[in-house]
Amino acid sequence: RAAGSVRSLLDVAAGNGRWLPLLAGKATGPVVAVDLSLAELQLARGALSANLPEGRAAYAASDAGALPFRSQSFDLVVCLGLFPHVRRSGRVRALRELRRVSNRWVLVQYAHAEGLGFLWQRTKKSIGLSARLPRNHLTRREVQAEMRQAGLGVRGFARVGGPFSRTWIVLAEAPSS
């Protein structure tokens, strides 16, 4: 909702298209799904075909760090589910590409280290008990630093789930060129 209405939308690392029907309702124009896996793109096609008229959807096999689109091609670029599995250097490279192809908004999912679940794990570790502190979970400050490094400004964090959440959806804005 914070991004307002958008004409074109790019879903990077779309996977099986789980989010595409919801995202497609946000855009009034073309919706493009990108994933490395051709098999996943076929599933995404199935998820989207029932929700969009013929000709509004497109699909491309590509790496998030090297997108095959012109700069500023999409009003909203979304990347859900990828970043919790990618190391920092890969995230920053992908963020730069997301920023490059966006003419304004970038929406990204991050795994974070600021929920009650992490407080409990840190407490267990501090008293000598076994604790599970996953990798690639970032603080708000670390997320903001990665976004700045990619040339994006953070406009908001939305926690997904309750107090034990480990996921944020981050809305970032690409400054006008």
Query: What pLDDT sits at residue 130?
Result: 84
Instruction: List pLDDT tens digits, range 116-143.
Output: 777 777 788 889 888 776 667 788 899 9
66 phi and psi, to 5 degrees?
-150, 70
- Whether pLDDT at 63 is above 90: yes
pLDDT band at 87 (very low <50, low <70, confident <90, very high): confident
Q: What percent of the chain has pLDDT over 90?
A: 46
- Quick one: pLDDT at residue 6? 85
* Predicted model pTM: 0.86
Query: Which residues lie closer than 8 Å to 142 by C-beta, 6 or more apart?
Result: none
Neighbours of 4 (CB within 10 A): 10
pLDDT value for 101 = 97
> How much is the pLDDT for 74?
95
pLDDT score of 12: 96
Average pLDDT for residues 59-70, to the nearest whole number? 94
pLDDT at 177 over 80: no
> If pLDDT is split at 50, 70 and 90, which confidence band does 145 have?
very high
Residue 11: predicted pLDDT: 95
The answer to whether 80 and 109 are in contact (CB under 8 A) is yes
Instruction: Provide the phi-psi class of 97: left if phi over 0, else alpha when psi is between -120 and 50, else beta.
Output: alpha
Res 7 pLDDT > 70:
yes
The answer to whether 107 and 133 are in contact (CB under 8 A) is no
DSSP the chain: -TT--BS-EEEET-TT-TTHHHHHTTBSS-EEEEES-HHHHHHHHHHHHTTS-TTSEEEEE--TTS--S-TT-EEEEEE-SSGGGS-HHHHHHHHHHHHHHEEEEEEEEEEES-SHHHHHHHHHHHTT------TTEE-HHHHHHHHHHTT-EEEEEEEESSTT--EEEEEEEPPP-
Give the pLDDT confidence of 11-33 residue by residue, as tens digits: 999 998 888 888 888 888 899 99
